[in-house]
Homo-oligomer: A and B are copies of this chain.
Amino acid sequence: MSSVIIYSGGMDSSVLLYQRKADIALAVSFQYGSKHNARELESARANCMALGIEHKVVHLDFVADLFRSDLLQSGGSIPEGHFEDEIMRSTVIPFRNGIMLSIATGIAESMDCNEVLIANHAGNHAIYPDCRALFIRAMGMAMTEGTFSHIQLTAPFTRMTKREIALEGKRIGMDFGLTYSCYKGGPIHCGKCRTYVERKEALAGFDTTEYMA
């Protein structure tokens, strides 16, 4: 296999990066203007450098443009005191996995790769329809039928929980200290946001150095 991975720098896609490092020709991160995105990208860069994997960032400027105009249309400035809501809204891009998978598929075809990897899982992100098994199956068919090289979609964590992904990471001996899971986007983990709490539960009992506020 010669693979392109959709890689955020977070815990789940980092486990997939380490698990499949021998096959990965390129790791692609998507930048779409959310606050935690920049800090995650640092982790993505650090992990790719540690493994000697090429890393590219795709800027989806149109998303920020469209969302900005939507927020403006729907009523002006966002009230203070709803920081978490604002962040959530900026992180929820309809059909995001479809958009990232399509672009990664185009890149994979132009690089003569034959596989695209994504680390969607069965945690609470599965409230989004584009994280579920039915979407993954149909999208995989579209990617295979829609490319000359019949590119394959591999989403091995679709039915796994975050804890199971963490255990897989432990099994293959990866360093969780290099990953980042926080919606606040600060240099170190805030220790309070939903994403960090999920991470903490997933890594419970692990011997990991966490960079905490």
Identify the A interface with B (CB < 8 A).
56, 58-63, 66-67, 70, 93-99, 101-103, 105-107, 109-110, 129-130, 132, 134-135, 138-139, 141-148
Contacts and interface: CB of A to CB of B under 8 A. Distances in A.
B135 A146 contact: yes
Given A130-B147, A146-B139, A95 B99 contact: no
A101 to B, nearest CB: 7
B135 A97 contact: no
Contacts of A67: 110
A153 to B, nearest CB: 10
A110 B59 contact: no
Copies in the complex: 2
23 contacts: A58-B62, A59-B62, A60-B62, A62-B103, A63-B106, A66-B110, A67-B110, A94-B106, A94-B148, A95-B109, A95-B143, A97-B146, A98-B102, A98-B105, A98-B142, A99-B99, A99-B102, A129-B146, A132-B145, A135-B142, A138-B142, A138-B144, A142-B142
User: Main secondary structure on chain A at its contact with chain B?
Assistant: helix
Contacts of A134: 145
Nearest to A133: B145
Given A106-B93, A129-B148, A98 B61 contact: no
A212 B134 CA distance: 50
A102 B135 CA distance: 12
Contacts of A107: 66, 94
Question: Which 8 A-B residue pairs are closest in the complex by CB-CB distance?
Answer: A94-B109, A138-B141, A130-B146, A138-B142, A135-B146, A95-B106, A139-B142, A98-B102
